[in-house]
């Protein structure tokens, strides 16, 4: 693939690749990055069209994201993805089980939009309205979407400031990536593929999250019985911002603990 995503490599230890969420870039992990670098060689990836990563001229769809990020993953690594990044990380783990040792998803959902058989998700019209508004005022729409991610958090004001400070740090995200990312959140449903996952998996949620209701944890568990989950009581959609120390502790404990025989 000619246009590879930007990857910032830092730290020392087992490889850990990070995938951010919609509208942002790898800089959003800055709150927890110094602690992670103490234990891991961190591969902090900007998804195509966000941060410092270029975007190709073809369709911006789920397959493209998975292929692009697969192209920059180390041969063997742990993988952690937040929100849309968690969906992509899950797709990568399904596609490349030989590369992914352990998987962590943060405030993510295998089907972000609620339907008759999957009740804990966003309403389709909510995402559709964001897609429509994006054409009229993409900067305002992006900021509103980021605001929703922090609603209810015990540290809401601090969280939204971190998100806003980060979003345009490396310039404006690609409109194609913004539009395509929302469409992926609207369309993708990988529930039926979850049973293919055999590596250890940790799923992290915020109890106050309005985008990925924490109640979905139980439904996901039914499809991933070997996974484990945790819900942060005072966090919304970005628990790594509002409960940073506890978050890092949980991630490190999961990734660094030997699997018992």
Residues 111-140 have pLDDT tens digits of: 999 999 999 999 898 888 888 888 778 788
CA-CA-CA-CA torsion sign (109, 35, 70, 199): negative
27-48 mean pLDDT: 97
CA dihedral 60, 62, 63, 67 (to 10 degrees): 90
CA dihedral 56, 61, 66, 71 (to 10 degrees): -10
Mean pLDDT over the full length of the chain? 92
Could you give the CA distance from residue 159 to residue 169 in angstroms, rounded to a whole number? Answer: 16
Find tokens 């990563």 and name the residue: 53
Q: Which domains does the chain have, with CATH numbers?
A: 7-256 (3.40.50.1820)
3-state class of 154 per DSSP? coil
Q: Which amino acids are annotated catalytic?
A: 83, 209, 237
65-69 mean pLDDT: 97
pLDDT at 133: 82
Q: Which long-range contacts (CB under 8 A, 24 or more apart) does 151-158 make?
A: 151/208, 151/210, 151/236, 152/208, 152/209, 152/210, 152/236, 153/206, 153/208, 153/234, 153/235, 153/236, 153/238, 153/241, 153/242, 154/234, 154/235, 154/242, 155/234, 155/241, 155/242, 156/236, 158/241, 158/242
The number of C-alpha atoms within 13 Å of 83 and in the hemisphere containing its C-beta is 29
The number of C-alpha atoms within 13 Å of 162 and in the hemisphere containing its C-beta is 21
> How is residue 16 written in tokens?
């850990």
Nearest to 33, CA basis, from 247, 207, 194, 177: 247
pLDDT at 258: 78
Could you give the CA distance from residue 251 to residue 244 in angstroms, rounded to a whole number? Answer: 11
CB 236 within 8 A of CB 208: yes
Is the confidence at residue 260, as pLDDT, over 80?
Answer: no
β-bridge partners, 81 = 19, 105
Is the confidence at residue 1, as pLDDT, over 50?
Answer: no
Radius of gyration of the chain (CA): 17
| DSSP 8-state secondary structure symbol assigned to residue 195 | G
147-153 mean pLDDT: 80
Could you give the CA distance from residue 15 to residue 243 in angstroms, rounded to a whole number? Answer: 23
67-82 mean pLDDT: 97
pLDDT at 261: 40
């Amino acid at each position: 693939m000619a246009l590879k995503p930007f990857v910032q490599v830092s730290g020392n230890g087992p490889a850990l690749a990070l995938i951010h969420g919609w509208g942002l870039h790898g800089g959003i992990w800055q709150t927890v990055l110094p602690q992670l670098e103490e234990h891991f060689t961190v591969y902090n990836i900007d998804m195509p069209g966000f941060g410092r990563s270029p975007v190709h001229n073809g369709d911006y769809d789920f397959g493209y994201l998975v292929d692009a990020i697969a192209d920059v993953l180390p041969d063997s690594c742990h993988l952690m993805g937040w929100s849309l990044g968690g969906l992509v990380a899950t797709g990568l783990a399904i596609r490349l089980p030989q590369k992914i040792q352990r998987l962590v998803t943060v405030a993510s959902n295998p089907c972000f939009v609620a339907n008759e058989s999957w009740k804990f998700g966003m309403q389709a019209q909510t995402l559709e309205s964001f897609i429509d508004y994006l054409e009229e005022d993409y900067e305002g729409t992006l900021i509103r979407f980021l605001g929703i991610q922090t609603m209810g958090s015990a540290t809401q004001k601090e969280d939204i400031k971190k998100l806003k400070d980060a979003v345009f740090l490396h310039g404006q995200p690609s409109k194609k990536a913004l539009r395509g990312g929302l469409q992926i959140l609207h369309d993708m449903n990988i529930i039926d593929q979850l049973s293919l996952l055999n590596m250890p998996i940790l799923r992290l949620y915020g109890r106050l999250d309005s985008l990925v209701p924490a109640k979905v944890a139980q439904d996901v568990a039914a499809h991933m019985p070997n996974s484990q989950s945790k819900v942060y009581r005072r966090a919304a959609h970005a628990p790594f911002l509002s409960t940073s120390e506890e978050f890092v502790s949980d991630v490190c404990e999961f990734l660094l603990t030997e699997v018992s025989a």
